[in-house]
């Protein structure tokens, strides 16, 4: 199989988006508009007919190009039109190493697993919404049931809004509280651009949870094809006190019940967060982080700079 390496200006974006949309494992993270926001100069590996494609999101440091996972892109990897093409995932990864000596990316849940010492298994949680709300609600954990009931008595109000300003402000504050490192100003700008593009094109919805007219929690949900992604969620002390996110997630599940959509919690590998997601009846899905280092000494030196 001939795999072509394409620079950003060589990619046929119309063919690319058609390929991703028609892929059996297509994800919004791999669409050209999304990639253009989170990694404007992204490159690609493709077959002649674009039946198999792989976005290459890269950075450059000290003149060395390396593949990485952009913020707000849970996983990428290889996308294909036919399940049988999953056998070529390793070929694409190997091809990528010819151009990038250091690779640290997440590949999507449909990509074939292969035995290698550079593969790390990770988990995410998803909830199939193809049942009625009462059936979905029955699968909540006892703790989640109790928290939803308490939240519904707290006097909070859910409101759909158009502006991302308050949500991003809440995320900033929450990250600062939790000492989350590595989030740059450009990442917040990218998130704002993602939300604005999605909402303007009827792919996204922003929700606030208000208490006494003041925002205490907020979420952005991005819908593409058969998946609704809880892309970003945040709350403050008042929101935690009022169990605002329990009320909001229950509301979303009720809104999308019987829809044949998949609610994607976009994580998590953090035990406490995963338990919270599972409390709503979600199930684990597994994906893989690939780290390949063919420049060990140089990369170790760069990491220590």
Tens of pLDDT, residue by residue over 24-61, are 999 999 999 999 999 999 999 999 999 999 999 999 98
116 shares its domain with 37: yes
> Is residue 164, in this structure, part of any structural domain at all?
yes
* Per-residue pLDDT reduced to its tens digit, 223-261: 999 999 999 999 999 999 999 999 999 999 999 999 989
111 and 187 part of one domain: no
Residue 282: inside a domain, yes or no?
A: no
Q: How far is CA 284 from the centre of its chain?
A: 15
Q: In which band, very low, low, confident or very high, does the pLDDT at 182 lie, cut at 50, 70 and 90? A: confident
Residues 28 and 137 in one domain: no
Same domain, residue pair 143 and 187: yes
User: Could you tell me if residue 283 is inside a domain?
Assistant: no
The Cα–Cα gap between 248 and 116 comes to 41
Q: In terms of domains, do 26 and 49 share one? A: yes
User: Does 56 reside within a domain?
Assistant: yes
Beta strands in 237-297 (DSSP E): 262-264, 283-293
pLDDT tens digits, residue range 87-127?
999 999 999 999 998 999 999 999 976 667 778 899 999 99
Cβ-based neighbours of 100, under 8 Å, separated by 6 or more: 56, 58, 65, 66, 67
Given a cut of 90, is residue 210 above it in pLDDT? yes
β-bridge partners, 211? 214
pLDDT at 303 over 80: no
Q: Give yes or no: residues 255 and 134 share one domain.
A: yes
Claim to verify: residue 63 and residue 16 sit in the same structural domain: yes
Q: How far apart are CA 76 and CA 272, in angstroms?
A: 25
Residue 61: inside a domain? yes
pLDDT for the residue numbered 70: 95
The whole-angstrom separation of Cα 228 and Cα 262 is 6
Domain containing 227 equals 130-260
Is residue 302 over pLDDT 70? no
In this structure, the answer to whether residues 163 and 108 fall within a common structural domain is no
Give φ, ψ of 17 to 5 degrees.
-65, -35
- Tell whether 51 is covered by a domain: yes
Highest averaged pLDDT of the listed ranges 110-124, 188-202, 285-299: 188-202
The answer, yes or no, to whether the previous bond of 268 is cis (omega within 30 of 0) is yes
18 has pLDDT over 80: yes
- The chain-wide mean pLDDT, for the chain, equals 93
Give residue-wise pLDDT tens across range 151-169: 999 999 999 999 999 999 9
Question: In this prediction, what percent of the chain has a pLDDT beyond 90?
Answer: 84
**Residues 134, 116 within the same domain:** no
- Number of domains, the chain: 2
Tell whether 11 and 106 lie within a shared domain. yes
- pLDDT value at residue 17: 98
276 lies in some domain: no
pLDDT value at residue 183: 87
172 and 147 assigned to the same domain: yes
- 169 in any annotated domain: yes
What's the CATH code of the domain at 157?
Answer: 3.40.630.30
Same domain, 149 and 35: no
């Amino acid at each position: 199989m001939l795999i072509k390496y394409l620079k950003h200006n060589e990619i046929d974006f119309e063919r690319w988006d058609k390929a991703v949309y028609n892929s059996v494992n297509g994800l919004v993270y791999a669409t050209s508009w999304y990639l253009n926001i989170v990694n404007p100069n992204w490159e690609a590996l493709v077959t002649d007919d674009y039946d198999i494609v792989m976005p290459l999101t890269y950075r450059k440091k000290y003149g060395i190009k390396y593949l990485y996972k952009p913020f707000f892109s849970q996983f990428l990897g290889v996308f294909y039109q036919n399940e049988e093409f999953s056998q070529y995932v390793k070929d694409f990864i190997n091809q990528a190493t010819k151009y990038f000596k250091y690779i640290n990316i997440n590949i999507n849940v449909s990509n074939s697993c292969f035995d290698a010492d550079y593969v790390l298994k990770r988990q995410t949680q998803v909830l199939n919404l193809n049942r009625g709300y009462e059936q979905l609600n029955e699968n909540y954990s006892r703790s989640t049931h109790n928290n939803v009931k308490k939240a519904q008595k707290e006097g909070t109000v859910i409101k759909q809004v158009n502006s991302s300003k308050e949500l991003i402000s809440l995320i900033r504050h929450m990250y600062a509280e939790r000492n989350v490192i590595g989030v740059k100003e450009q990442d917040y700008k990218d998130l704002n651009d993602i939300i604005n593009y999605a909402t303007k094109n009827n792919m996204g919805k922003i929700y606030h949870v208000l208490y006494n007219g003041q925002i205490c929690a907020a979420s952005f949900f991005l819908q593409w094809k058969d998946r609704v992604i809880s892309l970003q969620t945040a709350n403050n002390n008042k929101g935690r006190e009022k169990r605002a996110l329990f009320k909001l997630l229950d509301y979303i599940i009720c809104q999308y019940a019987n829809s044949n959509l998949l609610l994607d919690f976009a994580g998590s590998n953090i035990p406490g967060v995963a338990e919270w997601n599972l409390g709503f009846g979600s199930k684990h899905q597994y994906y893989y982080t690939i780290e390949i280092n063919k420049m060990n000494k140089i990369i170790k030196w760069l990491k220590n700079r």
